[in-house]
Structure 1
């Protein structure tokens, strides 16, 4: 796949024509001949720009991720300050995209090209940012990495299940129940620290509260030393000592 900007005229026309065919007729509607005709070009133009059909689909996935992330970032400023409500809104945005654009969503999930992979990582950075805000506020009940995996898995599972269900049998309650189950799995009913606080002190208190004396990840000496550091940070925010 050639490294060119999708905003280039012919390249963008081909990508958009492919997405239109994909979403109106499914994967079977996407052939090099059909795409070329829809874009008003000859089939060799596809090979010049993308190498082959696989390269074209990778470019479609990258373009889809770019559209999704642009919308997601634009709506980040509209999300509430409550990190748990922000989590709900972010999950809803992902699922909404997947159920409204199922064919494009499927291509995006299958893509393995560098461009699509970079865009996917950018999306994960947004997700991990949300998880970090939950952790800093004392809301998380599980490890950050596990929380991110649960959020991602439930979102993708919701989209796949919804799209695989005949339209007449789809119940919107499914999406609400899955979302709330995800929220219950990764967050606490109440934060272990005040959501109004920020900085290292509340984060230290949140981590100290999550530590258990029987944790086998650390040795006894390491556990005591970490607790001492966290207690010091929790007391004064980690101000330098004379």
Structure 2
């Protein structure tokens, strides 16, 4: 009959700090609280981690490693743009499931060259972007595209976990809309059909005209304005429908 291996003081300290961070945020991770939760003396914490800042950096490093483990499972698919979409969604899901740890990872973490696991996260993203370029799916240079996706993803994640949804009416669709906008800017459709470009141009102008007419137009009667608004809405939605269609097996 096997027995469970006793957890080391270091592991108990890390687990305690991670739990306190998740439950109470950065301010909850104090020497006294960690000592009590891990059932160790304060000097044990300092012996293993040096100080509380180093302990928190280790917690953040563990968070990066967990994210990397989950993220690399989505690599090496047949559609690199689909991988970018999946990677974006995974990034946002991780942030929302671990808001305190994510804030520590990207909001407070400061390490020297070569010691920052966030570099590894970026490199995973860059490899997928390189595969998109090799497949002829990239509209911008690799580094430019990767930096845009990386920075925008972090910005959206931080916004969602630090902003009251009541003050951000579009919060529910913010991630998907921003993801599609960024990927639409840095990638191209596999077929790149001229008809798709024409449809995009029509929709773009329809959206702009709807915005202008929303401020009123004295040349149209209320009935004419309502009918025109309906027509413009149809044209504007055609682009969204095309994007949804492309976003299935071969998103652009």
- Under a length normalisation based on structure 2, what TM-score does the superposition of the two structures give? 0.67
For residues 62 and 23 of structure 1, the distance between their equivalents in structure 2, rounded to whole angstroms, comes to 15
Structure 1: unaligned runs, 5 residues or longer: 1-7, 193-242
Q: Which residue of 2 aligns with 1:205?
A: none
- 1:43 CA drift (Å): 1.0
For residues 114 and 37 of structure 2, the distance between their equivalents in structure 1, rounded to whole angstroms, comes to 24
Higher-Rg structure is: 2
For residues 55 and 113 of structure 1, the distance between their equivalents in structure 2, rounded to whole angstroms, comes to 10
**Local SS of the residue matching 1:146:** helix
Q: CA 1:54–1:191 in 2, change beyond 3 Å: closer, same or farther?
A: farther
- 1:30 CA drift (Å): 0.9
Q: Is the 8 A contact 2:20 2:29 kept in 1?
A: yes
**Local SS of the residue matching 1:105:** helix
Is 1:185 paired with 2:192?
no
For residues 36 and 137 of structure 1, the distance between their equivalents in structure 2, rounded to whole angstroms, comes to 53
Q: CA 1:191–1:61 in 2, change beyond 3 Å: closer, same or farther?
A: farther
Is 1:12 paired with 2:11?
yes
Q: Which residue of 1 aligns with 2:128?
A: 130
Shifted more, 68-77 versus 148-157: the winner is: 68-77
Compute the RMSD of aligned alpha carbons: 2.0
For residues 59 and 89 of structure 1, the distance between their equivalents in structure 2, rounded to whole angstroms, comes to 27
In the alignment of these two chains, the number of paired residues is: 183
For residues 144 and 19 of structure 2, the distance between their equivalents in structure 1, rounded to whole angstroms, comes to 36
Q: Is the 8 A contact 2:74 2:87 kept in 1?
A: no
Q: Is the 8 A contact 2:96 2:157 kept in 1?
A: yes
Q: Which residue of 1 aligns with 2:28?
A: 29
For residues 119 and 157 of structure 1, the distance between their equivalents in structure 2, rounded to whole angstroms, comes to 18
Within the candidate set 154, 163, 169, 1:156 is matched to 154
For residues 165 and 106 of structure 1, the distance between their equivalents in structure 2, rounded to whole angstroms, comes to 13
Structure 2: unaligned runs, 5 residues or longer: 1-6, 193-252
Q: Which residue of 2 aligns with 1:5?
A: none
Q: CA 1:107–1:158 in 2, change beyond 3 Å: closer, same or farther?
A: same
Q: Which residue of 2 aligns with 1:175?
A: 175
Q: CA 1:48–1:191 in 2, change beyond 3 Å: closer, same or farther?
A: farther
Q: Which residue of 1 aligns with 2:104?
A: 107
Shifted more, 116-125 versus 147-156: the winner is: 116-125
- 1:163 CA drift (Å): 1.5
Shifted more, 9-18 versus 143-152: the winner is: 9-18
Is 1:92 paired with 2:89?
yes
